[in-house]
Amino acid sequence: MSEAGALRTSLDGGVLTLTLDRPDKRNALDSALIEALHAALDRADLDGEVRVVVLRGAGKDFCAGADLGELLASADRTLAENERAARRLGEVFERLRALPKPVVAVVQGRAFAGGAGLATASDVTIAGAGAQLGFPEIQRGFVPAMVMAILRRLAGEKVALDLVLTGRALSAAEALAAGLLSRVVPDADLDRVADDVARRFAGTGATALALTKRLFYQLDGLAFSEGIALGAKVNALARQTPDFRAAIAEFLRG
C-alpha cells in the first residue's frame, strides 16, 4: 500500500484500489487529491499488473465534492487559472472512461457534486442502500458544470435538469431508477459484492474488456447504422486476439 497526499493505493490480484482518504472533510476534492488521482490513473494505464481499478472513499462518505475552502479561495484567481483547475477535474472524469480497464466505484454515504461525478463517470457503480447521490452546487451559488455532461447522458433531459436546478439528493434506490448507478446492495454486503465484481473483472481477458469498454463509449452519438459498422470492425478485431482463441478453445473442451 502507498500514499500520495490524501489518496491511498493498493494492488492485490490485479485490482488497484484507490481510496480517497480525507474522511474528516468527507473526502472533498482539492487540487492535491485531483493530481494524485491523475498520477494513479497513469499507473493504472501503464502497469500491466493492473487489470481493474476500484475507487473508494474512506469513512462514512464516498465524496462530498469540491473542497469548499479551496473553492472559495479560487474566487480571487483569474478566469484562466480557474478554467485550468476545473479542467483538471474534468480530465479525471474523461480518463476514467478512456482507461482501457474497468473502473468500479464503491459508494457509501454521500456522493455529491464532483463526488457524484466520480461515481457516475466510473464504468460500474455499486452503492450501498443507505447511499445518497446529488448535485447540490446550485444551493451554494455554483454551477454543476462538468458533471452535467455525464448526468445528461445517463439520466435524460427531464431528470437531469430537475436534479441540477433543485440540487436535491437522491436515495440509492432513486439513483438506480434514474440510471445513475449500476447496482444497489444492502450496506452490509457492499464490500463483498464490490470485491466479487472486481475479482471477476480481474479474471476476464484484458483485451476483450478493453475492446468492449472502448466500443461502448464510442457508440455514444453514433447513428444506428454507424454503430453496427463500428461493431463489425471490433468484432473482427476481437477474433484475432490470443484471449479469444484461448477462451473459445477452453469452452469447447469443457
* Residues carrying an active site annotation: 137
Residue whose entry in the numeric block shows the C-alpha cell 490513473: 41
Q: Where are the beta strands (DSSP E) in the chain?
A: 2-4, 7-12, 15-20, 52-57, 103-107, 110-112, 124-128, 132-134, 169-171, 183-185
Count how many residues are written for the chain: 254
Rounded Cα distance, 171 and 129, in Å? 8
Rounded Cα distance, 118 and 122, in Å? 6
The answer to whether the CB of 127 falls within 8 A of the CB of 134 is no
Residue 141, number of CB atoms within 10 A of its CB: 6
Rounded Cα distance, 201 and 52, in Å? 6
Nearest to 133 by CA among 169, 180, 178: 169
SS3 content of the chain, % helix, strand, coil (to 5): 55, 20, 25
Q: Which three cell numbers, joined as nine digits, stand for 231? A: 461493431
The alpha carbon of 13 is separated from its chain's Cα centroid by a whole number of angstroms, namely 20
Q: Which three cell numbers, joined as nine digits, stand for 138? A: 446550485
